[in-house]
Amino acid sequence: MGASTVFLCGVVLIHLFASQTDAQRPRSPWKTLSGDAPRVISRGGFSGLFPDSSLDAYIFALQTSVADAVLWCDVQLTKDGAGICFPDLNMSNASIIEVVYPKGQKTYPVNGVPTQGWFTVDFSLKDLNKVYLIRGLLSRSDRFDGNEYTISTVQTVNKELKPLGFWLNVQHDAFYAQHNLSMSTFLISASKTVSIGYLSSPEVNFFTKIAGRFGRNGPKFVFRFLEKEQFEPTTNRTYGSILSNLTFVKNFASGILVPKSYVLPLDDKQYLLPSTSLVHDAQKAGLEVFVSGFANNVDIAHDYSYDPVSEYLSFMDNGNFSVDGVLSDFPITASASIECFSHLGRNAIKQGIDFLVISKNGASGDYPGCTDLAYDKAIKDGADVIDCSVQMSSDGDAPRVISRGGFSGLFPDSSIDAYNFAMLTSVEDVVLWCDLQLTKDGAGICFPDLTLSNASNIEFVYPRGQNSYLVNGIPTMGWFTIDFSLRALTNVSLIRGILSRSDRFDGNGYTISTVQTVNKELKPQGLWLNVQHEAFYAQHTLSMTTFLTTASKTINIDFISSPEVNFFKKIAGRFGRNGPSFIFRFLEKEQFEPTTNRTYGSILSNLTFVKNFASGILVPKSYVLPLDDKQYLLPSTSLVHDAQKAGLEVFVSGFANDVDIAHDYSYDPVSEYLSFMDNGNFSVDGVLSDFPITASASIECFSHLGRNAIKQGSK
């Protein structure tokens, strides 16, 4: 199931792009050395999903990438001189060799460093017949570890796949020479039957050996730079030193392969520093520039909002320079960046399509949720409606993007900057989401929860303000909004609510915003108020209904949501015919709805009941596309069809680029959005996201490819 689903994503994102994009929008010239699009180089095939260098990894890379994708093979030599594709000369990390040969461990100096492991030089090609490939990174899925993928020779990969581009990387030529194995001899012999497009190595002397050995139509030579402080083993110079003399490199290579930090360095907080001049300098010297280190599931700069497409574009299509190629574990994402998202321009995302983007608590992925900045950011990100959680495409239109607390994946949830940034970087009609809470004096504020301790510094401002209350029957300790007046909260600052996110903006002093402030400061096209705990506020003599009906006289509220049935009974008929849409929010199926004592799973089985008081439903992703225990997609449910047939819009929550998603999506959030927005079978009516820029980008892709492009398949 997983593999077939991933393949579908590949078809969706790639094979139709090449035939659609050129016809539907003009392309600017690429700023590469050749003027052509950057090359997509698949490291070990689709190694982000399959075991590195397995035939299926290579096959899948070709099936889901641009037509001229290059296959990368790390060449290692066996005891008998065979050339195999394997990610390292030490085989213990990405194979089961320790199990097959438990006594095969040796210690050798590698670039002068004593290294223990199972080395290719100690095994013949025949010895490796039953050594199967497995994932090299434990953080990745083990789904294919039991498939018994065998180790392939360079010749086998070439014969079986016939790639248009084949890149051989020689990482340790000197090591093999020390063991009387000649990489040069192997390569020259192999080149008689294998079309080698590129040869790379981090060793200068390797290029001296092979210079002039392949003729005029031989492979391009690419010098690979390692970290700047490391020493190049054959000259004893640091790579940083060699970098300062590109004319020297040009003597033996036509290109360079560098880590991402050589082009776009980061500070110690994982934020981007100004770009270096390397790409300009190298291309001016006649050298192509290839960049390594792209992997969707590896930490990237916070500036990219955990969206790998944004990272690729910053190297390929930034208006200043373009690298000549990218080395990626996930070639599908690199391919989509080139074929779908490049040359759109910074304002393209706002060019009139019908998706409605809802910003949860403003741009709360970037700013503290419900702060003025979070809301303002969400509007500028393009949120159609600002959703503020209040604490006390069935109609044929495109799906709506709801910005949860603004750009809450980057800024503190519900901060004004979060909302503002959501509006700056999203589609024009983005919706801002506000989790509405009530203060002691009845003010309505935007904050992600009725307890303030998780996403603010209230514990430091009021160290003795902790209290215990029953919340849905559960004793809960915390700093509750009902214990503080609006004035008392003026000195409380918003901070990130999820510790794994950047603390870059925690010290910015973002204040808590009222619903009225968000509306006045940002003037969003759409505002969504979420009322998570109406019953709790009622128990403490605070009326959410009174607040909402009063606020609606001066604020245009587009959506009101709640997981409590009785709340909708209270507000029924209070807003008139042009009032907000009522959305019933489903929590996990086994949880009990607090006012009816029925599980949400039970309520789900009676959508006609929900239709009596709501015009739509908001559900977790698993209600639509469930996962198995390995985090792979199961078949979709019929919920979207059933709900839309009953006249209910279907909104889906839980979208966040930095949260684990199904392996089928190859750690690419755009693929996930597309699977909910338009997968050929159904389309949800909206998505609730901490990163509205990514949801908006997914929509923008469709605005240029056409609504039916995704259904056309590949040839």
Give pLDDT tens digits for 136-152.
988 888 888 999 999 99
| Percentage of the residues of the chain whose pLDDT score is greater than 70 | 86
Predicted local confidence at residue 344, as pLDDT: 66
Render pLDDT for 209-222 as a digit per residue (tens, 0 to 9).
Answer: 999 999 888 999 99
Of the candidates 291, 313, 341, which is a domain's last residue?
341
- Which amino acid appears at position 88 of this protein? D
In this prediction, residue 394 carries a pLDDT of 58
Is residue 515 within 8 Å of 528, Cβ to Cβ? no
Diameter of the chain measured on Cα atoms: 86
- Give yes or no for a contact between 511 and 372, defined as CB atoms under 8 angstroms apart: yes
Instruction: Check whether residue 594 and residue 447 sit in a common domain.
Output: yes
Task: Check whether 349 has a pLDDT greater than 60.
Answer: no
pLDDT (mean) for 174-198: 97
Residue that finishes a domain, picked among 278, 313, 341: 341
pLDDT given at position 577: 82
- Rounded to an integer, the average pLDDT of 79-98 is 97
Say if residue 336 is in the same domain as residue 371. Answer: no
Residues 563 and 517 reside in one and the same domain: yes
303 with 356, same domain?
Answer: no
Domain membership of residue 126 (yes or no) is no
Beta strands in 580-648 (DSSP E): 581-585, 592-593, 598-599, 616-620
Residue 393: which pLDDT band, with cuts at 50, 70 and 90?
low
> Of residues 545 and 302, which shows the higher confidence score?
545
Beta bridge partners of 481: none
Residue-level pLDDT at 240: 97
Q: Does residue 236 form part of some domain?
A: yes
Cα 256 to Cα 201, 291, 311, 325, distances in angstroms: 10, 8, 20, 10
What rounded mean pLDDT belongs to the chain? 87
590 and 689 inside one domain: yes
Q: What is the pLDDT of residues 703-712, one digit of tens each?
A: 444 333 322 2
Residue 386 scores a pLDDT above 80? no
| Mean pLDDT of the region 360-376 | 45
> Does residue 204 fall inside a structural domain?
yes
Residue carrying structure tokens 């294919």 = 144
Domain boundary among 312, 341, 370: 341
Q: Are residues 311 and 368 in the same domain?
A: no
- pLDDT of 68 strictly over 80: yes
Calpha distance 561→569 (Å, rounded):
13
Same-domain status, 473 and 564: yes
Is the residue at 682 inside a domain? yes
Pairing between β-strand 513-514 and β-strand 444-446 as defined by DSSP bridges: antiparallel
Q: Select the more confidently predicted residue: 210 or 657.
A: 210
Q: Is 128 domain-assigned?
A: no
Q: What is the pLDDT of residue 396?
A: 59
220: three-class secondary structure by DSSP: strand
Tell me the C-alpha distance between 91 and 122, whole Å: 11
pLDDT tens-place string over residues 580-630: 999 999 999 999 999 998 999 999 999 999 999 999 999 999 999 999 998
Q: Residue 193: give the domain boundaries.
A: 26-93+151-341
Based on the fold, state whether residues 369 and 325 are members of the same structural domain: no
Q: Which of 210-219, 224-233, 325-334 has the lowest mean pLDDT?
A: 210-219
Residue in the structure block whose two tokens are 């973002």: 510
Q: What is the DSSP letter of 37?
A: P
Same domain membership, residue 379 and residue 460 = yes
Report if residue 495 sits inside a domain: yes
Domain count of the chain?
Answer: 2
Q: Which of 356-360, 554-558, 665-669 has the lowest mean pLDDT?
A: 356-360
Return the pLDDT at 459.
97
Residue 9 domain-assigned (yes or no): no
Cα separation, 535 vs 546, whole angstroms: 13
Greater confidence (142 vs 252) lies with 252
* In the predicted structure, residue 466 carries a pLDDT above the cut 50: yes
Gap between the Cα atoms of 306 and 292, Å rounded: 18
571 pLDDT tier (thresholds 50, 70, 90): very high
And the tokens for 581? 């849409």
Neighbours of 127 (CB within 10 A): 17
In a domain, 483, yes or no: yes
- Rg over alpha carbons for the chain, rounded to the nearest Å, is 28
Which one of 55-64, 350-359, 418-427, 658-667 scores highest in mean pLDDT? 55-64
Instruction: Please tell me the predicted confidence (pLDDT) of residue 352.
Output: 30
The position carrying tokens 């439903």 is: 617
Residue 690: which pLDDT band, with cuts at 50, 70 and 90? very high
- Estimate to the nearest angstrom the gap between the alpha carbon of 512 and the chain centroid: 29
Higher pLDDT, 58 or 677: 58
Query: How do residues 551-568 score in pLDDT, each as one tens digit?
Result: 999 999 999 999 999 999
Whether residue 220 is found in the same domain as residue 288:
yes
* Band (2; pLDDT cuts 50, 70, 90): very low
Please tell me whether residues 518 and 457 are part of one structural domain: yes
Our measurement of the distance from residue 273's CA atom to the centroid of its chain's CA atoms, rounded to an integer in Å, reads 21
Do 392 and 256 fall into the same domain?
no
**CATH code at 683?**
3.20.20.190
Structure confidence at residue 169 (pLDDT): 99
- pLDDT beyond 60 at 13: no
Is 80 exceeded by the pLDDT of residue 522? yes
Is pLDDT at 395 greater than 80 in this prediction?
Answer: no
